[in-house]
Chain A
């Protein structure tokens, strides 16, 4: 119920969405869960699939879904300088269109990542695709280019030789573009209709891969953006800083929200009470055992879940941080966990998804499902199905 309320509240950020959409990194709320029912439990590379579609190349970005469209980004080429945006039919997996861009920024990055690392965002008008090169393009549902920006062309000192990866967030008619980096570091709100800056603020020169989340406080929508120097809250309308919390920060996993609490993945997880004025007082609790590396924490039905790179999954009470269970799954993990239909989905880098019950007092594995292809991006839930993108395919797992 709590998650349902959060979902309804989050739809205020993007009124053109419906409850079953997954329009950005970690879904409509940006917090990693869906209200969809009858979600899958068992599948394999050739069983239990609604469809499978071929992708042109790698990507660490997750798929996003609005209405009858699934959008995916990829990057390719010896220099990883060819950028791809594709749309598929949600029901059939038919490729509807495929557009390509040439990278205008540096393609230097750690070998594990690539230029299609940030997850795109979508609304009823189409998709907004950001790449690690700073190329940002808006296409309508039918693949017509609405606008395009070369953010490195605009701000040439943007630089992160490890590779940018923070994803877009969408707030009504504003695209929140996180560009923390070692050079021209900034956060901007870009008009979804025109591609022009509505505001742009300078940010600390730190590389940072976290994705902003949104919070509604009365009439004000806040952008909560965590970085190594702490968490900063900005007014989405103006870019003006509203409050900061500097007792916890980080640069890889993103924070989450639930029940009037902010959960920061810093030295495990730090939970802080939120009021209308922001994060106040000392931490409500600190859970050093709730370990993360790349995956962002998830709060679902009153419980918080973390997954670290070696597969240790920890489940704790969100209110107190008291650990309910802690177990290890086989594999190496990068993607963030997601949840829906009382199931937690945790996918490893080899493409094996463990489906865990979210209402049990011990780890209860409902299914262990291998598709045999590399998965580094966070999957999506929409239309009663799970969407998993690999280095070469897009799987839609669910009933036909």
Chain B
């Protein structure tokens, strides 16, 4: 008998996980994958178990995405597609009510909820709009985006009998929107209704800075040199800059809609140079933060003296929220320092030396955080009228 059992084990295609009862073990194996393919063999066996278990594995797999690392989450995501597709091929409907409850549970993984939503809507298209209506503030950016799009559509073409409350509806959508294209579209509608929404404030851009530079970065070497601001920021200090020239901190206020801090303007044009931008931000409480930067240049982000992000790449394009540094703001004043290096490329498109920087939560939404400059506390994104700015390099 023991021999027979051994033979059965040996001929089983997935000896580690061979039955529905092994779903928890399969999920554990997948969640254990780590760097450079470690754990792949066990994860592959686990994946096969989930796929073979069919519908029974669907919800455990969806739920497992909640605390899976990015690598494991992709193993699970493909298993969800495989399970749902095989159920559909077999002519079995997915349990709509249970799926709906899972989708509405915002504590679950945003990606898992989105996948569940897509499979539910595939089988029950009429459920789409009524479900989306509740996702305007959803942590899943994909669900939120579709909900905002639906909200815009319904506001533009109100159904018969609905009250003309476009202004309030657009204002609500504006607050909830996270994607640049949607924010701009809603802002345009609000402007037509006579209001002046601030995109700069909506996205939480830092507009008030102090700049110092240039420091030497010949052949890019300055990227790895810790110049004095990386040790301590003293806005009154005179520092030794490139070619031995003295440099000092200068205030810089941007009035650009996306808060571009143009160093060519603030510090004059320099090549093979490093510069620093400094700002003080005030948090009401300790809280996680994403510091998001766009730049054509090599950048490093420091929060309260700790480097939280670095990317040494020059003139390969830029876009909003290109780089993200994740950290925790302390209650009270926080020091934000950004190092921006410039190389010596001479093409016309390689002259930009600039950053855009904002503070937000993990969805890209605003935080109860202010910026402080010249003794004044103001909202993130606050943009003074250019006429009120002192004459200078702003």
- B63 CB-CB contact with A under 8 Å: no
User: In the bound complex, do residue B82 and residue A143 qualify as a contact, i.e. CB atoms below 8 Å apart?
Assistant: yes
Given known contacts A77-B142, A149-B36, A183-B312, is B70 in contact with A101 (CB within 8 Å)?
no
Interfacial chain B residues near A154, Cβ < 8 Å: 35-36
Chain B residues closer than 8 Å to A269, beta-carbon distance: none
B74, B79, B181, B317: the one contacting A102 at CB < 8 Å is: B74
> Which of A150, A157, A159, A195 is close to B74, meaning CB atoms less than 8 Å apart?
A150
In the complex, are the beta carbons of B317 and A110 less than 8 A apart? yes
Segment of B37-45, B211-219, B250-258 engaged in the interface with chain A: B37-45
Q: Which residues of A contact B69 (CB under 8 A)?
A: 153
For B335, list chain A residues within 8 Å (CB): none
Whether B81 contacts A100 by the Cβ 8 Å rule is yes
B35 surroundings in chain A (CB, below 8 A): 153-154
B37 A197 Cβ-Cβ under 8 A: yes
A78 partner, pick from B44, B85, B145, B314, beta carbons under 8 A? B145
Of residues 88 through 147 on chain A, the ones whose CB sits less than 8 Å from some CB of chain B are: 97-102, 104, 106, 108-110, 135, 137, 139, 143-147
Bound: A157/B323 CA distance, A = 12
Interface digits, B18-52 against A, CB 8 Å rule (1 contact, 0 not)? 00000000000000010111101101100110010
Taken together as a complex, chains A and B put the C-alpha atoms of A163 and B35 apart, in Å, by 23
User: Which residues of A lie under 8 Å from residue B81 when comparing CB positions?
Assistant: 98-100
Task: For B316, list chain A residues within 8 Å (CB).
Answer: 160-162, 182, 207
CB distance from B301 to the nearest CB of A (A): 15
In the bound complex, CA of A157 to CA of B43 (Å)? 26
Q: Is A101 within 8 A of B71, CB to CB? A: no
Within 8 A of A (CB), among B247-293: none
B73 at the interface (CB under 8 A from A): yes
CB distance from A156 to the nearest CB of B (A): 10
A182 touching B78 in the complex, CB below 8 Å, given contacts A97-B85, A146-B44: no
Please encode chain A, from 186 to 208, with 1 for each CB lying within 8 Å of some chain B CB and 0 for all others. 00001000111100000000010
Check if B179 is an interface residue, CB within 8 A of chain A: yes
Contact B74 A194 (CB under 8 A): no
Q: Is B75 an interface residue (CB 8 A)?
A: yes
CA distance A77 to B179 in the complex (A): 12
A266 to chain B, nearest CB (A): 20
8 Å CB contact of A135 from B51, B74, B82, B319: B74
Q: How near does chain A come to B42, taking the closest CB pair, in angstroms? A: 11
Total CB contacts across the A-B interface at under 8 A: 107
A43 at the A/B interface (Cβ < 8 Å)? no
The complex places the Cα of A183 from the Cα of B142 at a distance, in Å, of 30
Least CB distance, A26 to chain B, in whole angstroms: 26
B37-A145 in contact (CB<8A): no
Which listed residue, B48, B74, B312, touches A137 by the CB 8 Å rule?
B74
Name A195's contact: one of B37, B51, B311, B318 (CB within 8 Å). Answer: B37
Indicate if the CB atoms of A161 and B318 lie closer than 8 Å: yes
Contact call A144/B47, Cβ cutoff below 8 A: yes
- Whether B51 and A148, one on each chain, are in contact in the complex, defined by CB atoms closer than 8 angstroms, is no
B313 contacts the other chain (Cβ, under 8 Å)?
A: yes
* A 149-187 binary contact with B (CB < 8 Å = 1; else 0): 110011001011110000000000000000000110000
Question: A194 to B41, Cβ gap below 8 A?
Answer: yes
A137 and B33 CA atoms in complex are apart in Å by: 14
| Contact in complex: B74, A78 (CB < 8 Å) | no
Are B142 and A153 neighbours in the complex by a CB distance under 8 Å?
no
A152 and chain B: residue at smallest CB distance: B70
Chain B contacts for A110, CB-based, 8 A: 317
Contact assessment for A147 and B37 in the assembled complex, using a CB-CB cutoff below 8 Å: yes
Q: Pick the residue among B36, B74, B312, B317 that contacts A196 (CB under 8 A).
A: B36
Structural contact, A148 and B313, CB atoms closer than 8 A: no
14 contacts between A and B (CB under 8 A): A78-B179, A98-B81, A102-B77, A104-B74, A137-B74, A147-B43, A148-B33, A148-B75, A153-B71, A159-B311, A161-B322, A194-B41, A196-B37, A196-B40
Q: Which residues of A contact B (CB under 8 A)?
A: 77-79, 97-102, 104, 106, 108-110, 135, 137, 139, 143-150, 153-154, 157, 159-162, 182-183, 190, 194-197, 207
Which A-B residue pairs are the 7 nearest by beta carbons? A161-B316, A196-B37, A182-B313, A195-B37, A147-B40, A104-B70, A99-B78
